[in-house]
Copies of this chain bind each other. A is one copy, B any other.
Amino acid sequence: MIVTIKDVAKRANVAPSTVSRVIANSPRISEQTKKRVREVMEELGYHPNFQARSLVAKSTQTIGVVMPNSAYYAFQNPFFPEVLRGISTSAHENKYGIYLSTGSDENEIFNEVVSMVQGRRVDGIVLLYSRINDKTMKFLHDSNFPFVVVGRPFENEERISFVDNDNIYITKQVTKYLIELGHRHIAFVGGSLHFVVTIDRLNGYKLALEEADIPFNEEYMVHEEYIKENGREAIRLLMSLDSPPTALVTQDDLIAYEMISHLEDMNVSVPNDISIISFNNLMLSEHSKPPLTSVDICIYQLGLEATNCLIEKMNKPDSLPKRITIPTKFIERKSCKKKK
C-alpha cells in the first residue's frame, strides 16, 4: 500500500540507487533520467520513508526542544510559546522539524533527553532553561551532543553555547531607575533561585543597591515558591513590614499582574503608593491597568538566535562555543512614579 523506492525504481526501469540519487538531486544522474523518475514519483505519490532515510543518513533533520517541568506547566507561562515562535521560525527556514519534550519532572526530562540523544531521535537540542547543578545540561555537555541553552549555564559557561540577555546589567539599570525616582525601599519579588536567571537578576539588583549605599534587606526578598503557594499572603506580609517597600522589582509581568491585583484588594495603589517594574513585556502589559513598565527581553529573538546557533553547530560540530547576548529594551509605562 505504501509506495517505496523499489516500486518507483521498477516502474521507471532503473535501480533503487538511481531513484535515491534523483531524490538527492545528484549531478551524476542525467536530466532525462531525473525527469522520468520524477514523473513516476509524482504518479505513484512517492514520499521517502523518514525513518529509513534517517537511519542510514544518521540525521533526522529534527531539533529537540526541552522545556522545564513539562510542557504542561511551561505553557502556562507566555515566555514559552513566544520562544517557540522564534525556534519554529528558524527551524522552518532551515528545513528542520521540531520535537517537543513532555517530561513532567527533572528525572523524566533527564531520561527523555538521554533517549533523544542516545536513540538519535533528534540532531540537536535547544534547552529552554538553565538550572543550577542540572544533570540534563551536564549530560548534554559530557556527551558532546550539539545543544544550545536559552539562558546562562551555571557551569562551564565558556564551553557551552548559549543565548541570553545580560540579566545582571539590565536588572541593575532597572533598580537604578527606581532609586533615581527616590525609592530606597525596593523589594525583589519572585523567581526561583534554582534558576540562573534569578540569580543573575538578584545580583544586578544587589549591585545597584550597593552603588547607592542602600543595604540589602533579606526581608525584601519574596521567593517564587512562597508566591505560588500563597501570593496574597506573600504580598500582605511584605506590606506589613515596619518599613514596607515603596517599589518592587518583579521577575516577570505575570507576577507583576498578580501583585497589582492583590495590592488593589489591599487598597494600595500602583503607582501612587508603590511602583512596580518587571520583565518580559508580555503582550498584555501594554493594556493592563496601569500599563506596566517592563523590560522587553526579546523572547522571540532568544528562540530564533538559539536555533540559528544550534543549526550552525550541527553543521560544524567542531566550531567553538558561542555566546550570544540579546539586547533588551526598557519600556517605560505607568507603573512607576517618583517617591512621594
| A interface bracket (residues with beta carbon within 8 Å of B) | 35 or more
Residues in B with CB closer than 8 Å to A84 are 71, 75
With A92-B70, A257-B287 as contacts: A99 and B102 at CB distance below 8 Å: no
- Give chain A interface residues in 94-133, CB to chain B under 8 Å: 97-100, 102-104, 114-115, 118-121
Q: Are B102 and A100 in contact (CB under 8 A)?
A: no
The residue among A52, A76, A81 with the most chain B CB atoms within 10 A of its own CB is: A81
Cβ-closest chain B residue relative to A77:
B81
User: A118 touches which one: B2, B103, B115 (CB < 8 A)?
Assistant: B2
The answer to the question of A226 belonging to the interface, with a C-beta cut-off of 8 Å to chain B, is no
Q: Are B102 and A50 in contact (CB under 8 A)?
A: no
Q: Are A92 and B88 in contact (CB under 8 A)?
A: no
Q: Are B51 and A72 in contact (CB under 8 A)?
A: no
Q: Are A91 and B102 in contact (CB under 8 A)?
A: yes
The answer to the question of A269 belonging to the interface, with a C-beta cut-off of 8 Å to chain B, is no
Give A contacts to B, CB under 8 Å: 2, 45-52, 54-55, 60, 62, 70-72, 75-76, 78, 80-82, 84-85, 88-89, 91-92, 97-100, 102-104, 114-115, 118-121, 257, 260-261, 283-284, 287-289
